[in-house]
Amino acid sequence: MSDNYRLGVDIGGTFTDIVMVDDNSGKLFDEKVLTTPDDPSLGVIQGVKKILETNNVEASELKHIIHGTTLVANAIIERRGSNVALITTEGFRDIQEIGTESRYDTYDLFMKMPVPLVSRQWRFEISERIGPDGQVITNLDESSVVNAAKVIASSDIDAVSVSLIHSYQNPTHERRIREILQREIPDIIVCISSDVMPEIGEYERTSTTICNAYVLPTFTRYLERLTRSLHDLGVSKDLYLMLSDGGTVHQSTAAIYPIRLVQSGPAGGVQAAAAINKVIDHEDSEGNILCFDMGGTTAKACLVENGKPMHANEFEVARIFRGKKGSGIPLKIPVIEMIEIGAGGGSIASLDNLGLIQVGPESASAHPGPACYGLGGLSATVTDADLILGYLDASNFLGGDMKLDVEASKSAVKNTIADPLGLTVVDAAWAIHETVNESMAQAAAIHALEKAKRITDYTMIPIGGAGPVHACNIALKLNLSKLICPPGAGVASALGFLVSPTSFTTLQGGVVPLNQLNFKTLNHQILYMEEQGRKLITDAMEKKDEVSVEILASMRYIGQGYNVEVGISKKVLASEDISEIQQLFESVYLTQFGRIEPHMDIEIVSWRIVTAGPTPQIDLGEARAGIQSGNYEKGNRQVYFGCENDFVSTPIFERSQLEEGQHFVGSAIFEERESTIVVPPGSNSYVDEALNLIINLPTEDEAELN
């Protein structure tokens, strides 16, 4: 029996999405089931079973399963990780509280910061010191490590993080501490910063290492449960996982660096949007995409230019102050750069101390979920508001697999929002809808502004279960004129896993002035890093010779605190031409900051090597073709768009039955199993050759008239 099927599985806060592709025919299949928060692997197995049975596919026919999960991020946000200790250099015990001089609110004298993941009693100082040049200043006191190990052994600590000052320049002390701990406490998990994040910046390096240790035991147990259950199901192939930077790795690699999965689900969504953009008429997309991903718990926005998402080397998780930058836990990991806010379909609407409506970040999750799920939820959520406004079909949610209770939604909105504010239920639902849309539009605008981009130069691709419901309203607030809604948008993240290459980023810090660069040492280091990356990815590849290598240097003017990432080819390094590297740096710096400083010296802070296999291909234009078999018209429904404070009779269409070339004028609702597209009055829509729904929105003046 041939193994020609690949499976992508994305665990979200509310739903678990599964997409399967037949590599022989190119056909796509998808499924959506409720997430099981107590043990997410149960939802995965349920979804995999369902998609296999529905399409008469045997588990043994699966060639790959690629998985993305919110488990890592949620463990940190919800403080459900393992008990962790920290071993650090004498004098650096309180680095988690000290942080940096940056403050997210300059004028708040009582500004709160995240509570450290490692309490002070479990932070151990060790006598040792390595200088910034990698030279040993103070030898490691091994007896103090043994003493710390004895205390840890008698506690309920599950993992130890080790982060010593300047270990990125010389990891010998950290490695020796790991040896001692593994000798004294054989069952303990040890994470050392020189493996997890070997770069300058003791606060960020320590934070990243602690987080990796914090989630590693939980993540390892989850992987063991999942792989065992998949094996029992008849799946014989290994599991692969999606990283936050858009690459996939074998489960054995992911089990070492689980912190790199903190944004794995959203990264898949962006990869899907980038792939979708490739099959769209360039006139429609203009090459620049705003990927808007709204699921059950959060919403994300990411800019994609020329088919490539923007990347970053830092990420902040678990922000505690209204999602404000600087109020979370910093991580130094490769990520697709995006902005995230706590606003999804399950986000709870409430009143703040001033009596104003706020939505999120608290979520009703999958259980009990929104009030309309009928699982015991009493809070008003975004999904409840959408149902009241007529955007969702109570009898056809998830293709009819799940019935929604409209009266439960009305009761929740009435009790928590409408009555306290003296509003009708419809007005309160509209206020919830507008509040969450305004928050998301503002977040997307800020994200573009921070990148020195003009948001109106982008075309939106909405994905996620709730994304297409809210996309047009948000686009109008951003003055965007066009949206592209792909088929299967509600499961796009899982699709994105299937179009992402196997890849891994290796990194190494070490501050060196550009004019003092030793090319012989550098080329040896880069070759070693490349070999490391190749080994990690080629073990998981069928064609081991198809590997691309990208060399990136983090550079800055000496004395600055912000770096720019510069791509440098092997040819340039082989030429040993410092002036050419300087020109590359100045070109990137000029683009980002608008000027250069020709009289200032330049330094290289760190190197990153991205090794990647070939990108899997799915013909998205053909994958959905040939599925039309019935009438696409489903009648009309009363839908509220805020126009003259009244409902509008709106045509409802079955998305799966649309054909290329069909045009629609005015308001409309397009329903598919995984999501619903809400099109406002004054719009014009048509179906392109890849079965994407292209929506041309009214101008601001036209929208006001409607």
Reported as a single tens digit per residue, the pLDDT across 494-517 is 999 999 999 999 999 989 999 999
Cα 633–Cα 637–Cα 641 angle in degrees, nearest 5: 120
Let me know if residue 243 belongs to a domain.
Answer: no
DSSP state of 477: H
Residue 130 — very low, low, confident or very high, per pLDDT cuts 50/70/90? very high
Q: Which residues pair with 65 in a beta bridge?
A: 7, 239
Residue 701 has what pLDDT? 58
Take residue 352 and report the two structure tokens written for it. 């703040």
> Look-up: residue for tokens 């040049």?
133
Same structural domain, 89 and 65: no
Residue 67 — very low, low, confident or very high, per pLDDT cuts 50/70/90? very high
In this structure, the chain runs to a length of: 706
Domain at 557, CATH number: 3.30.1490
Same structural domain, 386 and 423: yes
Residue 317 has what pLDDT? 84
Instruction: Judge contact between 18 and 62, C-beta under 8 A.
Output: no
Let me know if residue 475 belongs to a domain.
Answer: no
Residue 600 has what pLDDT? 94
Same structural domain, 456 and 534: no
Let me know if residue 333 belongs to a domain.
Answer: yes
Same structural domain, 544 and 666: no
**Region 136-151 average pLDDT:** 96
What are the contacts of 632-635 at 24+ separation with CB within 8 A?
632/657, 632/658, 632/659, 632/662, 634/671
* Residue range 70-92, pLDDT digits in tens: 889 888 887 889 999 999 999 99
Residue 246 has what pLDDT? 93
pLDDT tops 80 at residue 485: yes
> d(Cα 34, Cα 225) in Å, to the nearest integer?
19
Instruction: Judge contact between 154 and 196, C-beta under 8 A.
Output: no
**Top-confidence residue, 388 or 626:** 388
Same structural domain, 146 and 188: yes
**Amino acid found at 358:** Q
Residue 25 — very low, low, confident or very high, per pLDDT cuts 50/70/90? confident
Q: Which residues pair with 351 in a beta bridge?
A: 357
Residue 660 has what pLDDT? 87
Same structural domain, 646 and 528: no
Residue 366 has what pLDDT? 76
- Average pLDDT over all residues of the chain: 89
Same structural domain, 322 and 374: no
Q: Smallest Cα–Cα separation from 550: which of 124, 233, 246?
A: 246
Let me know if residue 251 belongs to a domain.
Answer: no
Residue 703 has what pLDDT? 55
Same structural domain, 190 and 82: yes
> d(Cα 164, Cα 162) in Å, to the nearest integer?
7
> d(Cα 596, Cα 419) in Å, to the nearest integer?
58
**Region 34-46 average pLDDT:** 90
Let me know if residue 474 belongs to a domain.
Answer: no
Residue 108 — very low, low, confident or very high, per pLDDT cuts 50/70/90? confident
Query: Lowest mean pLDDT: which of 250-259, 368-377, 381-390, 393-402?
Result: 393-402
* Residue range 419-469, pLDDT digits in tens: 999 999 999 999 999 999 998 998 888 888 878 788 999 999 999 989 999
Same structural domain, 83 and 184: yes
**Region 274-299 average pLDDT:** 79
Let me know if residue 165 belongs to a domain.
Answer: yes
Which helix (H) or strand (E) segment holds residue 98: the answer is helix 95-98
Same structural domain, 327 and 351: no
Residue 226 has what pLDDT? 94
**Region 691-695 average pLDDT:** 93
Measure the CA dihedral 329/330/336/339, to 10°.
Answer: 50
* Residue range 168-192, pLDDT digits in tens: 999 999 999 999 999 999 999 999 9
- Residue 629 sits in which domain range? 625-705
* Residue range 673-686, pLDDT digits in tens: 889 999 999 999 99
> d(Cα 443, Cα 143) in Å, to the nearest integer?
51
Residue 236 — very low, low, confident or very high, per pLDDT cuts 50/70/90? confident
Same structural domain, 89 and 137: yes
Instruction: Judge contact between 347 and 382, C-beta under 8 A.
Output: yes
> d(Cα 216, Cα 368) in Å, to the nearest integer?
28
Query: Lowest mean pLDDT: which of 59-68, 209-218, 279-288, 600-609?
Result: 279-288
> d(Cα 136, Cα 166) in Å, to the nearest integer?
10
Let me know if residue 93 belongs to a domain.
Answer: yes
Domain count across the chain: 6
Let me know if residue 481 belongs to a domain.
Answer: no
Q: Which residues pair with 402 in a beta bridge?
A: 397
> d(Cα 276, Cα 287) in Å, to the nearest integer?
11
Same structural domain, 424 and 318: no
* Residue range 434-447, pLDDT digits in tens: 999 998 998 888 88
Domain at 67, CATH number: 3.30.420.40
**Amino acid found at 78:** E
Residue 625 has what pLDDT? 53
